[in-house]
A = this chain, B = another copy of it.
Amino acid sequence: MEHTIHFLPDDIRVKVAPGENLLTAAAAAGVYIHAYCGGDGVCGKCKVHLEQGEVETDHAATLKQADYEKGIRLACKTRVVSDITVRIPDTIKSDGKALKREPKTTRAISARSMETLVGTWKIDPPVGKLFLKLSPPSMDDNVSDMQRLMRAIKIAMPDNPEPNYDHPQLIRELSGILREAAWEVTVILLHGKGATEPDRIIAVEPGDTTDRLYGLAIDIGTTTVNGILIDLNSGEVIVDGSGYNAQIGYGEDVISRMIYAARPGGLKTLQEKVVYTINGIIEEMCHKVMISPSDISYIMTAGNTVMAHLLLGINPRYIREAPYVPSVSQFPLTKAADLGIMAHPSVRLFLYPCISSYVGGDIVAGVHACQMHKSEQISLFIDIGTNGEIVVGNQEWMVCAACSAGPAFEGGGIKHGMRASQGAIENFHIHPETYDPMIVTIGHTKPRGICGSGLISIVSELLEAGVIDPQGKFNRELNHPRIREGEDRWEYVLAWGHDSMTGEDVVITEVDLDNLMRAKGAMYAGYQTLLESVGLGFGDLDRIILAGNFGAYIDLERAICIGLLPDIDRERYYYIGNASQLGCQISLLDHRRFRDRVDVRKLMTNMELSENPDFMNHYMAALFLPHTDMSLFPSVHLKK
């Protein structure tokens, strides 16, 4: 169910989920409301007039009773619980006239896109359980216990070749389990490819346990590790969990991790730390849904190349040194328990293959999830981050590259930059004439800093309002208290100290703008270089696929406005979310999808951008908002 909000006087209608915060909804719809305190309810600026419908408000107390009775509400403390009509008060100029309002076009990439992209899958996982009632041995029939088991499997699956078994513990425990279970057991099989590759027995369990079959998908990020536990019988995600990668204490990014790994004992420590993190997530998830970690029959993981090397205990030192060579790109099948992961000793862990030192298994998993390798359409797959990854191609070819965008989108190199957590400005509008801000923070607290999506909002708003120019310089002629010369050249005050969480002014500076331009410039130059390398331009793209959590919070129009994303038909944009985890999830559920993951890697060709002269030229041209070549951005019209 959804509710409709009708914003007046702009006459904008948006649909929101029940309980949606009204300030957040307005900001997402591009409807400007004064708001200084991020949604904390203290600045009292975001007054709106409820003309029709029901809302819930947290504390009417910050409003005068008289105002409340007139229908005035603080947008930041209002939850939408029915269809409503609200009127935003006009901003009155000093001459007493109301300022003209211009509603903005905003565009979140809709969630429907994902289903279109990833296609359907069957619940037909690469592991399965088989309940067997064996006839007990007798003097006339005293074949070995394993042969007895094999015979029963053959009867149950007459067309399959005899399964393999290679785990010592399995053969050591088998006789005991068969007898304790009175010859009624469940076999867990990892399915092979039929005639050319037999199934493999993972484990034998007493009794009928066919109703308990779980798979684990783990996305191993440099910062965060995410897990989901899937009931492989129903196909449903039954619980998820995540945690900071405990390697973080040994370096924030992959480079510092690699440096640490080179120290004596460093590699071992980092390997143990990521396993510790994974075990914590497994434990937490299993505890929540009351299953035993040993009921997990199958683990699918993806991570960047450095994370994969560290998990397997492979020294990543040659990744760091030119010409940037990983030890392995196709990782061997590994027993999870051999790495120290809390799992049944014979459960296999699959790691998505990587392409190169900086295009890792997370990207391969993402490409695999969205089936680029099965589509005739030419797609541009983008994962924006400190290390931005780009893939272009279709079912016949793919090229990929990593570009070092720097940490601006994760809050690095930005004076008040921060991760997307409580108090981070995530949405921002500026009044085009008063230059006053509308600030929405994560958690609706007083602002503390700026996260990646907030940064894009802020820069595009400042640019459109003419507060900054295409070179990323503040308009020195605007005489406004929020625009001033600060420590780091000129800056705009997003929140005054009395409205901020820290008590200090929260600002954005020209140095921040330079860093943002470098970050978005590297990404854009990456797209251009890859496309040119295959003789294509942006117009040839059928789809642009945004992956990574970041994509969920990006306003497409604003990202195009600053030149982070190409200015093409918005309908061609798709958002796939945590594509890496999605790839793992699909692989867990559908063995055909699981098998064709290898084809993805084989299609992909890596390109090194770091010493590529074309890339450098494109990069220099992209250090502008949105770009030196405005013909690339026909839909962006800046205020002169």
Name which residue of chain B comes closest to A318, CB basis.
B175
Residues of A324-347 at the interface with B, using a CB-CB cut-off of 8 Å, are 324-334, 338
Residues of A126-168 at the interface with B, using a CB-CB cut-off of 8 Å, are 137-147, 164-168
Q: Known contacts being A138-B323, A356-B142, is A168 close to B313, with CB within 8 Å?
A: yes
Whether A312 sits at the interface, judged by CB under 8 Å, is yes
- Are A166 and B329 interface neighbours, CB within 8 A? no
User: Smallest distance from the beta carbon of A165 to chain B beta carbons, Å?
Assistant: 6
The size bracket of the interface on A is 35 or more
Whether A606 sits at the interface, judged by CB under 8 Å, is yes
Whether A630 sits at the interface, judged by CB under 8 Å, is no
From B331, B333, B357, A142 is in contact (CB under 8 Å) with B357
From B144, B333, B357, A327 is in contact (CB under 8 Å) with B144
- Are B318 and A145 interface neighbours, CB within 8 A? yes
Q: Known contacts being A144-B329, A318-B145, is A171 close to B324, with CB within 8 Å?
A: no
Contacts of A354 in B (CB 8 A): 144
User: Smallest distance from the beta carbon of A263 to chain B beta carbons, Å?
Assistant: 16
Whether A84 sits at the interface, judged by CB under 8 Å, is no
- Are A327 and B139 interface neighbours, CB within 8 A? no
CA distance A611 to B140 in the complex (A): 10
- Are B142 and A328 interface neighbours, CB within 8 A? no
CA distance A167 to B174 in the complex (A): 25
- Are B142 and A324 interface neighbours, CB within 8 A? yes
Q: Known contacts being A166-B333, A315-B175, A338-B168, is A325 close to B144, with CB within 8 Å?
A: yes
CA distance A331 to B147 in the complex (A): 11
Residues of A277-335 at the interface with B, using a CB-CB cut-off of 8 Å, are 312-315, 317-318, 322-334
Contacts of A328 in B (CB 8 A): 144-146, 171, 174
Whether A51 sits at the interface, judged by CB under 8 Å, is no
Contacts of A338 in B (CB 8 A): 168
Name which residue of chain B comes closest to A354, CB basis.
B144
- Are B172 and A314 interface neighbours, CB within 8 A? yes
Whether A608 sits at the interface, judged by CB under 8 Å, is yes
CA distance A140 to B324 in the complex (A): 11
Binary B-proximity of A603-635 (CB < 8 A = 1, otherwise 0): 000101001000000000000000000000000
Whether A479 sits at the interface, judged by CB under 8 Å, is no
Whether A120 sits at the interface, judged by CB under 8 Å, is no
- Are A325 and B142 interface neighbours, CB within 8 A? yes
Residues of A574-626 at the interface with B, using a CB-CB cut-off of 8 Å, are 606, 608, 611
CA distance A416 to B155 in the complex (A): 55
From B142, B165, B179, A323 is in contact (CB under 8 Å) with B142
Q: Known contacts being A172-B313, A314-B172, A315-B172, is A332 close to B164, with CB within 8 Å?
A: yes
Whether A94 sits at the interface, judged by CB under 8 Å, is no
User: Smallest distance from the beta carbon of A267 to chain B beta carbons, Å?
Assistant: 9
From B139, B315, B332, A165 is in contact (CB under 8 Å) with B332
- Are B333 and A146 interface neighbours, CB within 8 A? no
User: Smallest distance from the beta carbon of A620 to chain B beta carbons, Å?
Assistant: 20
Q: Known contacts being A142-B356, A196-B196, is A323 close to B137, with CB within 8 Å?
A: yes
- Are B168 and A137 interface neighbours, CB within 8 A? no
From B142, B171, B332, A166 is in contact (CB under 8 Å) with B332
Contacts of A326 in B (CB 8 A): 144-145
Contacts of A356 in B (CB 8 A): 142-144
- Are B325 and A137 interface neighbours, CB within 8 A? yes
CA distance A196 to B192 in the complex (A): 12
CA distance A174 to B175 in the complex (A): 39
Contacts of A318 in B (CB 8 A): 145, 175, 179
- Are B145 and A327 interface neighbours, CB within 8 A? yes
Contacts of A330 in B (CB 8 A): 144, 146-147
User: Smallest distance from the beta carbon of A192 to chain B beta carbons, Å?
Assistant: 11
CA distance A331 to B170 in the complex (A): 11
User: Smallest distance from the beta carbon of A489 to chain B beta carbons, Å?
Assistant: 36
- Are A327 and B196 interface neighbours, CB within 8 A? no
User: Smallest distance from the beta carbon of A508 to chain B beta carbons, Å?
Assistant: 37
- Are A168 and B329 interface neighbours, CB within 8 A? no
A-B contact pairs, 17 of them (CB 8 A): A139-B323, A140-B608, A142-B608, A143-B329, A144-B329, A144-B330, A145-B318, A145-B327, A146-B328, A166-B333, A168-B312, A168-B334, A171-B328, A172-B312, A176-B315, A195-B196, A197-B197
Apart from A137-B323, A175-B327, list 10 A-B contacts with CB within 8 A: A144-B327, A144-B329, A145-B318, A145-B327, A146-B330, A166-B332, A172-B327, A175-B315, A195-B196, A196-B197
Tell me the A residues contacting B by CB distance below 8 Å: 137-147, 164-168, 171-172, 174-176, 179, 195-197, 312-315, 317-318, 322-334, 338, 354, 356-357, 606, 608, 611
Q: Which 4 A-B pairs have CB atoms at the shortest separation, nearest pair first?
A: A144-B329, A142-B323, A144-B326, A175-B327
